Amino acid sequence: MKKFWKTLLLFCITALLLTEIALANSAPPDYLQIVKIKNPPEEPYHLFLLAEEKNSRSDGLSFRGLNENMLQALCEAVPEGWGVWNGNTEEENGLYRFSGLYTPEKFRIAVVTSSCETWVSEIRERRTVQDTVTADWASKTISAAPVLLAVAMQMFSTLLPTLAVEGLLLVMFLFDWKKNWKPFLQVNLVTQTALAAFLSTKIVMGGMESYGLIILYMFFLPPIELVIAFTEAYLYTRWFTGHSENRAFAYGITANIASYVLGWYLVPAVWEGFVRTFWLGI
């Protein structure tokens, strides 16, 4: 029995250390602004993100593809007190990405066509760390999906991989799914949903302060997850049936560590799928 607990403890420490190393060596999260162009010009055009002059970047910008007349038209269209933050090329289906460790909180969209027709949108505020707006060239308007949708997508992109990984391990630990799925869901919906909802709200709606929050989570999230793991493991020993309490406890610890480690790979993939299916579809 002592050997079992020593092995389990060593497994927990190793998994957490590996995750911390991966986090420490991973790049800081990008602030991302995606612009989706709707009813684009029939002629060739270029799209730019504008920022207030104090945040604009006049150096190192590429105006490749703009002739002298287009460049002049763009400069004349930019409102006073504003400048070009960056230009970008279309990726797919009218999507333009502007990313980096910083993107302006307040921005405008500027479009210039090959015939020198221009349009500059009204001022918009970036509402989330990774935000998306739709620019309609035909109506000369700009719109965005509700911010609560982003919070919901972030929450479910965290929760669903957790349930999938831990549900699979429940079967691998030879627990009867029909007899144990209710306590499994009850425990996870209380602990993981609360954690996912809190982190999702902070990360999605935290604005420019979210970068600092994410850095803090890199240090404080592992201990929080460890507390949740032992809490869930204890509850499983009380509510699971069909096997010993030791197996239920071992399952709880193993499932939480597995979902935590794999989550750093699964969550971004699920999030990307939600963005393309729901966020960009509005």
137 plus 218 within the same structural domain: no
What does the pLDDT look like over 15-31, one tens digit per residue? Answer: 444 443 333 333 334 45
Instruction: Determine the structural domain holding residue 177 and report its residue range.
Output: 147-279
Q: For residue 9, is it within any domain?
A: no
Of 26, 204, 31, which Cα lies nearest the Cα of 101? 31
Residue 23 counted as domain residue:
no
Residue among 66, 93, 62, 88 at smallest CA distance from 77 = 66
Place of tokens 């002629």: 43
Torsion of CA 160, 161, 165, 171, to 10 degrees: 20
Indicate if 41 and 124 belong to the same structural domain: yes
Nearest-angstrom CA–CA distance, 263 and 221: 13
- Whether residues 159 and 42 share a domain: the answer is no
In a domain, 20, yes or no: no
Same structural domain, 37 and 114: yes
Q: Are 270 and 161 in contact (CB under 8 A)?
A: yes
Domain final residue pick, 143, 161, 176: 143
Q: How many CB atoms lie within 10 A of CB 244?
A: 10
For residue 21, tell me if it sits in a domain. no
Structural domain contains residue 121: yes
Give pTM, 2 decimals. Answer: 0.62
Are residues 244 and 168 located together in one domain of the fold? yes
Does residue 274 fall inside a structural domain? Answer: yes
**Same domain assignment for residues 184 and 268:** yes
Residue where a domain stops, chosen among 128, 143, 158: 143
**Can you give the pLDDT of all 282 residues of the chain as single tens digits?**
455 445 445 444 444 444 433 333 333 344 567 788 889 999 999 899 898 876 555 544 556 678 889 989 998 999 999 988 876 665 667 788 887 656 788 899 999 999 999 999 999 988 776 778 889 999 999 988 787 777 778 778 888 898 999 999 999 999 999 999 999 999 988 887 777 666 666 555 554 455 555 555 566 667 777 888 899 999 999 999 999 999 999 999 999 889 888 887 888 788 778 877 776 665
Residue 222, domain member (yes or no): yes
Residue 88 lies in a domain: yes
Where does a domain end: 143, 173, 192?
A: 143
Two tokens, residue 72:
């002049």
**69 lies in the same domain as 168:** no
- The total number of structural domains that make up the chain: 2
Rounded Cα distance between 209 and 203, Å, is: 9
User: What CA–CA distance (Å, rounded) separates 43 from 64?
Assistant: 17
